[in-house]
Amino acid sequence: MKKRGQVWVETVIYTLIALSIIGLFLSFAKPKIEEIQDKAIIGQSVTMLEDINGVILSIVQGGSGNQRVIELGIKKGNLRIDGTKDQIIFEIEGRYTYTEPGENGQPGPHIDVGNVVATTQQRGKISTVTLISNYTNKYNITYQGGENLKILTKAPVAYKLFIANKGEVSGVDIIEMSII
């Protein structure tokens, strides 16, 4: 009878040891996996902003009335279409530090990645990476006919962004954006 009880005690102890080792491994591996995922999302987001920029250049060269639709998949973070500042901004919070962060929670130095400006702000272990496509003095970005702000958050399906060239006013092309 004593041997049978000892076998069960050993089995429980070995199971607890195995679960503890798995837990320790996951506690170290999970943050690294999240960091790698964030790095991939930031890379895709830079590409997305470059694609939007390419579409804008294409419709401007095509002249007034030219329009395109582009699909935007947002898995994490948010995309802001800021008509008042004529900017398109992607912001993501995560573990990955894309650029050198500033001190005391301030944004770090700006880094140009193609036509996109990137900064990182760090609070503890969490970094906020901001990617900005600035069209000030080049184009007048509008959302649904006005100088509006539209925020696109993560979604299971891709957004369809409609971009149109509404013509030129005072030497600046008006680029109209809306979600369809």
Residue range 38-86, pLDDT digits in tens = 999 999 999 999 999 999 999 999 999 999 999 999 999 999 999 999 9
**Cross-strand pairs, 133:** 88
Q: Is the pTM of this model over 0.95?
A: no
CA distances from 74 to 48, 78, 79, 153, 180 (A): 10, 7, 8, 7, 16
Number of domains in the chain: 1
Output the average pLDDT for the chain: 92
Task: Tell me what pLDDT residue 103 has.
Answer: 79
What distance in Å separates the CA atoms of residue 72 and residue 97, rounded to the nearest whole number?
23
Residues 165 and 63: beta-carbon distance below 8 Å: yes
Confidence of residue 102 (pLDDT cuts 50, 70, 90): confident
What distance in Å separates the CA atoms of residue 5 and residue 39, rounded to the nearest whole number?
51
Task: Tell me what pLDDT residue 125 has.
Answer: 86
Answer whether residue 169 shows pLDDT above 70: yes
Closest alpha carbon to 91 in 127, 56, 125: 127
Position 12 in a domain: no
Position 22 in a domain: no
Task: Tell me what pLDDT residue 106 has.
Answer: 81
> Rounded mean pLDDT of 135-158?
94
What distance in Å separates the CA atoms of residue 72 and residue 163, rounded to the nearest whole number?
12
% of the chain with per-residue pLDDT over 90: 77
Confidence of residue 2 (pLDDT cuts 50, 70, 90): low
> Rounded mean pLDDT of 109-127?
90
Position 11 in a domain: no
- Name the residue range of residue 106's domain: 32-179
Task: Tell me what pLDDT residue 1 has.
Answer: 54
Residues 70 and 180: beta-carbon distance below 8 Å: no
Position 75 in a domain: yes
What distance in Å separates the CA atoms of residue 53 and residue 59, rounded to the nearest whole number?
10
